[in-house]
Every structure is written in C-alpha cells, then in structure tokens.
Amino acid sequence: MWSLTRSDAPSDEPVLIVDERVTGATESVLEAGVVLGMPRREAEALAPFATVLPRDLGDETRRFEPVVALVEELVPRVEVVAPGLMFVPVVGAVKFYGGEEALAERIDKELSSSAGEFSEKTPTCPSRTGVGRIQSRVPYLMGIADGPFAARWAAATASPGVPHIVTDTISFLSRLDMGTLRESMGGEEMIDTFRWLGVNTLGDLARLPRETLASRFGTPGVLAHRLATGEDRMVDPRDIPPELGVELAFEEPLESLEAVAFAGRNLAEKLLRKLRPLGLAPHTVTISAGAAAGLARTRVWRSADPFTERALTDRIWWQLRAWVETAGVPGGISSLSIVPSDLSGEGRQLNLLTDESSAIEAERALARAQALLGPDGVLQARAQGGRMPTERVSWSRWGEPESPVERDTDAPWPGATPSPAPALVPPTPDLIEVEWEGGLPTRMRLGSRWEPVLTWSGPWRLSGRWWAGESDADRYQLVTSVGAFLCVVVNGRTYLAGVYD
C-alpha cells in the first residue's frame, strides 16, 4: 500500500479527497476526527475548513506507476488492484532472495531509496480505506501473508516502513473484524446479519459450519467462510489459451491521450465479446503496450469481481495514461494487448428477472453514443425534492458516480407543483404571451395563433428567497384546445415552465 499525493492540492491548506467517501486527507483534517472511508458529508461537517477535492483515479494511477515499476523490477508480475494497492506474488521471489524477511528488506530498501523521487512537495494523502495515518518518511505499508486477502489486512495493520510478516495466517485472520470482508466481497446486508447474530470476527465466522452458511447465505456465505479460514486463492486457476488474448497494432504510434483512450475502449470491448460466448469473465488481466522505440511495458490488474466492460476500460485507460504521461512508452504506443487470466464462470450467471446480456449490450451502445456526443450527452436522473419540475430532478453523467442529491425527497416541500408532472420541461422558463382580464387568463399565444384559455387552475404562490434577490411567483395550469401548460408569472411577465405533453 502506497500513500499517494495530489499535485493540485494547495500545499499549505488542509485537504480532503473524496468520492462518495473519504479516500484521502491531510494530517490536520485527520486530527479533526475525519477517518478514511467515512461518508463525505460527515467528513465535511467535521472539517469544514478543508479544501475538498474529488478523487481522480487516473491521476492516482499515474503517480502509483513508478512505484509499481520499481517493485516489478524486483518481483515480476505484480498485480495492481487499485491505485495505491498492489499484490506481489512472493513464492518464487522468497526462494530467490532467501526468505520473506530478506525479500521485504530488499523491497523496503528500494522503496526507501526512491521515496524522495516519488513524493512531491504536496500534502500526503493515505489512499486506502482503513490504512491509518502514515507519518514515516516512507509512505507505504507492507504485509506478507498467505493469500491476497490476508496480505491486504496484514499491510493495513503494519507500521509504516516496517513490514508485517504474518506467520500464522489463520490466527491473524481470526482476530479481524467482520467489516474487513466488505472491501473484498461487498455483502453489506450479510455482514450486518452476522453482527446481529453475534458473529463479530472472522474467527467467529470460521468456526461456523460451511454447509450452514451455504444454506443461509448461498455463494456469498461460502466465499466469506473461505476468506475467514484462509482459503483465499485464485478463483479458478488454469492455463489460459493464448488465443483468448486480444491485440491491436498501430501503423502510426499513438501519442495523444484521446487516441489511446479510444484504442483501449475498443480492446476491452473486443476481449469481453470474445469471452462472453464462452460464458467466461476475467478477474485478472495483463495489459501490455509496445513502445515505438522498441520498449515493451506490461502490467497486471486484478479485481475481486469479474471485470465489466466499463471497469476494464477504466483500468486500461488509467494504465495507458500513466504510461503516456510518465514517458513510459517513448515514441508512442505501437501495439496494445490484453491477456485475461483468473477466468470465472461469472459471465454465465444470469438473473432470472433481468436480462443481463441486454444490460451489457446496452452499456456498450450507450458508451458508443457517449463517445459521439461527449460525456454530457448521455445522462441519468434521480429524483430529488423541490417545488418546480426543473428542481425535482438531479442529473449525472451516465457511467460516472451519481452526484449527491441536493434536496431531500422525503421533506414535505409545501407549495410544490402538483402532479402529474409535465412531460416537457424547458431547461430555463421561456417567456410567453398570455392575456389577462381582471386577473384571469383569457388567451395565450402559441406561435402565430392566439389560443383561448378554456380553463385554468391556480395560482399557487411560490415565495422567492428575497435574500437571494428572488421574486415571488404564481403558477398556473392553463388548458387550451391543444393541450395544457404550466406557466409561471413573475413580476407581471409569464413564462412557460412545462408542457403537459
């Protein structure tokens, strides 16, 4: 585990790095009670003085890349799980270096000697949930244990710069809290149920009969029991036929990030299309890039869940961006290849009530549409509270984390425009002409014609926030022979706010 830095963070101010939860923070923010992994809102309340920056996984990968490259020079085929966290298979390396302690010492020596080159003069932000504070000159935590799960938590419980070598993995695991399963396999509800039943540690879980867990929780229960008993190994180790890999060669080496991103997306799509008919999904992929200058770069990425097309595209993009921006591929990329390993049959597992294959195809189609239109062309919406139709929808780009809802949907919202909602809502209200007689609407102008108002309802008063310079407004539903309209009258002028189409 490596502590990453942010170049765009102000050097003398407290900083909070967030996505939905806190992923990094400076010392002063941690001292205010913020804990890594804490929900964003809670952290912002505890440290209102901190500058909040959104997490940039691509940038984190770029910064992590030199660390990975250094370790890979000592031990081949490291597996990158996420920026800041990698697994190193040590079986062969232990024999070569003469033991686990000697290997850890060697890695520590290399990382310590290069730590100054990697770190920049910016606040250090521990990047992994549960890692704790890092105050060493060496911004990493190292753990050695049987299996990736145990090694990950060995690292999390290590002291900075002092490797935690676990000699009795089962005993070590038995002391871990149930919450440690969350990162590896999700299953929030199952973990809560375990706690409710008084099963609070992995040791408690390991003592339960596996058959009982299988009948109560199904596959997730068995997986949890395997992790608790130290049986965490490769999902389905077997030889991967080389023809399952995919490769692209380019006559003109790719140097621009846009071209690289496009190529990466194509390659991910090609690989998964190849695996899908076989009912296979990869948990680990080896991404290789050939540089025009003759150099070849390789990196292994791993995921607990099988890679989806989007997840794989993201990993490829982060990796290629890291190589391009750190001049890792001099002269540009002349070839790209992805070879899957750790294949599982997850691709075959279809839900009875939903069409998973449709969802995958739709995802690909939407990704293409997004490539044509740009990220703001494909959107998803969520309900939020509000009085006007435009306020009641929270938009976010498709494929990106949902933006936080600004207004509570469960709040009463007195004075909200009554349902049904207008099907057409202009992004900003349009000025229209409406004639009034004695305060009652008589006709409205639609294009070149005046249409008589057959009937109407309202007005509903909307009190503006006077302190923000907003005026009061009245809303009317006007019905004409061609349809019904939602209008807003502000300062004597009428605006179209919706069409009941």
Partner 1 sequence: MLPDWSQVLDGLGIATTTNIATHVLVDGDGQGMLDLQPGRITELVGGHGSGLTRLGLKLLAPHSRRSPVVVVDTRGWISPEAAWETGVLTDRLVMVRCDDQILWPKVTAALLEGVRAIYVEVPGNIREQDLRRLAALARVRRVAVAMRPLGNGLPPGVAYLRLRAVGVTWEGANQGHGKLTRRRLVVEATGKGARGIARRFEVEDEGTDALRVVSDVVVDQVGRAVG
CA angle 226, 171, 145 (to 5 degrees): 70
Q: Is 323 exposed, middle or buried (0-12, 13-18, 19+ CB in 10 A)?
A: buried
Residue closer to partner 1 by CB (options 133, 274) is: 274
Contact between 495 and partner 1 per CB under 8 A = no
Q: Cβ contacts of residue 352 below 8 Å, gap of 6+?
A: none
The one among 234, 383, 405, 411 contacting partner 1 by CB under 8 A: 383
Q: Cβ contacts of residue 335 below 8 Å, gap of 6+?
A: 247, 248, 249, 250, 288, 289, 290
CA 441 to CA 272: how far, in whole Å?
60
- Tell how strand 473-480 and strand 483-490 pair up: antiparallel
Helix (H, G, I), strand (E, B) or coil at 494: strand
CA 157 to CA 131: how far, in whole Å?
7
Shortest gap between Cβ of 351 and partner 1 (angstroms)?
10
Touching partner 1, residues 295-354 (CB under 8 A) = 353-354
Residue closer to partner 1 by CB (options 250, 460) is: 460
Contact between 400 and partner 1 per CB under 8 A = no
Contact between 398 and partner 1 per CB under 8 A = yes
Helix (H, G, I), strand (E, B) or coil at 19: coil
Shortest gap between Cβ of 71 and partner 1 (angstroms)?
40
Contact between 361 and partner 1 per CB under 8 A = yes
Shortest gap between Cβ of 107 and partner 1 (angstroms)?
44
Which letter does DSSP use for residue 466 in this model?
G
Site mask for partner 1 (CB under 8 A), range 424-443, x = bound: xxxx--x-x-------x---
Give the distance from CA 137 to its chain's centroid.
29
Residue closer to partner 1 by CB (options 102, 440) is: 440
Contact between 405 and partner 1 per CB under 8 A = no
CA angle 284, 285, 286 (to 5 degrees): 130
The one among 95, 348, 368, 461 contacting partner 1 by CB under 8 A: 368
The one among 240, 366, 416, 490 contacting partner 1 by CB under 8 A: 366
CA 326 to CA 254: how far, in whole Å?
15
The one among 117, 209, 327, 358 contacting partner 1 by CB under 8 A: 358
Contact between 27 and partner 1 per CB under 8 A = no
Contact between 501 and partner 1 per CB under 8 A = yes
Binding site for partner 1 (CB under 8 A): 353-355, 358-359, 361-366, 368-369, 372-373, 376-383, 389, 392-393, 398, 418-427, 430, 432, 440, 446-449, 454-459, 477, 479-485, 496, 498-501
